[in-house]
Amino acid sequence: MDWSTAQNILCVRLDSLGDVLMTTPALAAIKATRPDSKLTLMTSAAGAALAPQLAMVDDVWVYDAPWLKATAPRQNSQPEQAVIEELRSRQFDAAVIFTVYSQNPLPTAFMAYMADIPLRLAHCRENPYQLLTDTIRDPEPELTRHEVQRQLDLVASVGYRTADERLQMTVPRAAHQRVSNLLENLGLSPAKPWIVVHPGVSAPSRRYPPELFAEVGRSLVNQGIAVIFTGTADEGELVESIRSQMVAPSHSLVGLLTLAELSALLAAAPLLLSNNTGPVHIAAAVGTPVVDLYALTNLQHTPWQVPHRVLFHDVPCRLCYRSICPEGHHNCLRLVEPAAVVAAVLDLLPLGTLPSESFLGAGPALALAEVQPA
């Protein structure tokens, strides 16, 4: 058996929802090349939330791996032994292991090897010997690629390609209708400019300060632009803190939207302003411009193939790949002036003129708009 005849294919992406979404072009490439194949996506509980909106995926397997930080502590290895047995029973022809640059594919590769999956593919920095049958020597950090391009390159190495490299997700009609009703109830219409603001993010190192979000929101409202906040129920306190500091009217849909409805809201929105987190990639998938407040933890996750601005303040400690600022000052975001954020929003709103440089960085090229302090 080889990759051109593999039909029952396991695709492993064990991290977050945004990472799964950035893998959709590669998943689509497999399906486009082998339309008769069955794709099973093994992913985390967080990533699996996206599964109903992934048309190219035939089956989903939820697995929270113990080598990822978000997984609850294990008491023993029985869950992993059960996974290996289940992998063997499903008789996969091939396993494609998708990882970010900082992850090691070998724990997953070992499980696939133990399950006797004949073909096993991943990026790998070290010699995998027999754990992988096919591998790309990981070129990072010497070469920095967008995360989407990284995964497209991986599957292309075994012959899977697609002409459509956009992020892919479907948005149910019912979600569009509910969002339309919500916007009508809020008094918003295409005649009045409005944006979505998503201030929450899991990693503290990627959070733009709430008081600066409030300054941005106040300025936008004063210029006639309505602001809708989104977030999970757990982010309600953060959002209400920002809204109270704005001292200006705003709307909140925090904790009120399903993932499909958030997708529909972003599809309807003229623009998303957000920290670098999952909704940035949802917005890219539905074609909505993004102003991305981008902590310099890594460079691979900028908005893909949509008009965007990536705002940060350059610092010597850039590319730290840390969830918590190792220097304790958070200057890569804290020193991004609210006026610069407002200017980026105004540049990208469809009501304004869209400067040509907004398209730099769409696709595999990385274009970062550096913002220095005033």
- What is the count of structural domains for the chain? 2
Are residue 217 and residue 345 in the same domain, yes or no? yes
pLDDT tens figures, 326-346: 655 567 687 889 999 999 999
In a domain, 329, yes or no: yes
Q: Which domain holds residue 232?
A: 173-370
Single out the residue in 92, 125, 156 at which a domain terminates. Answer: 156
Are residue 66 and residue 142 in the same domain, yes or no? yes
Reference 167, options 64, 286, 331; nearest CA is 286
pLDDT at 300: 82
In a domain, 104, yes or no: yes
Are residue 85 and residue 195 in the same domain, yes or no? no
The number of beta carbons lying within 10 Å of the beta carbon of residue 107 is 17
In a domain, 167, yes or no: no
Single out the residue in 92, 126, 156 at which a domain terminates. Answer: 156
> In order along the chain (374 residues), what is the average pLDDT of each group of 10 residues?
96 95 98 97 95 96 87 86 97 98 94 98 95 91 85 98 96 96 89 92 77 96 96 93 95 96 96 93 95 78 91 63 58 83 92 32 33 35
Which pTM value belongs to this model? 0.88
Are residue 116 and residue 215 in the same domain, yes or no? no
pLDDT tens figures, 157-213: 999 999 999 999 999 999 999 999 999 999 987 778 999 999 988 766 678 889 999
Three state DSSP letters for the chain: CCCCCCCEEEEEECCCHHHHHHCHHHHHHHHHHCCCCEEEEEECHHHHCCHHHCCCCCEEEECCCCCCCCCCCCCCCHHHHHHHHHHHHHCCCEEEECCCCCCCCHHHHHHHHHCCCCEEEEEECCCCHHHCCEEEECCCCCCCCCHHHHHHHHHHCCCCCCCCCCCCCCCCHHHHHHHHHHHHHCCCCCCCCEEEEECCCCCHHHCCCHHHHHHHHHHHHHCCCEEEECCCHHHHHHHHHHHHHHCCCCEECCCCCCHHHHHHHHHHCCCEEEECCHHHHHHHHCCCCEEEECCCCCCCCCCCCCCEEEEECCCCCCCCCCCCCCCCCCHHHHCCCHHHHHHHHHHHCCCCCCCHHHHCCCCCCCCCEECCCC
pLDDT at 9: 99
CATH number at residue 33: 3.40.50.2000
φ, ψ of residue 136 in degrees (nearest 5): -110, 125
Are residue 138 and residue 228 in the same domain, yes or no? no
Are residue 131 and residue 228 in the same domain, yes or no? no
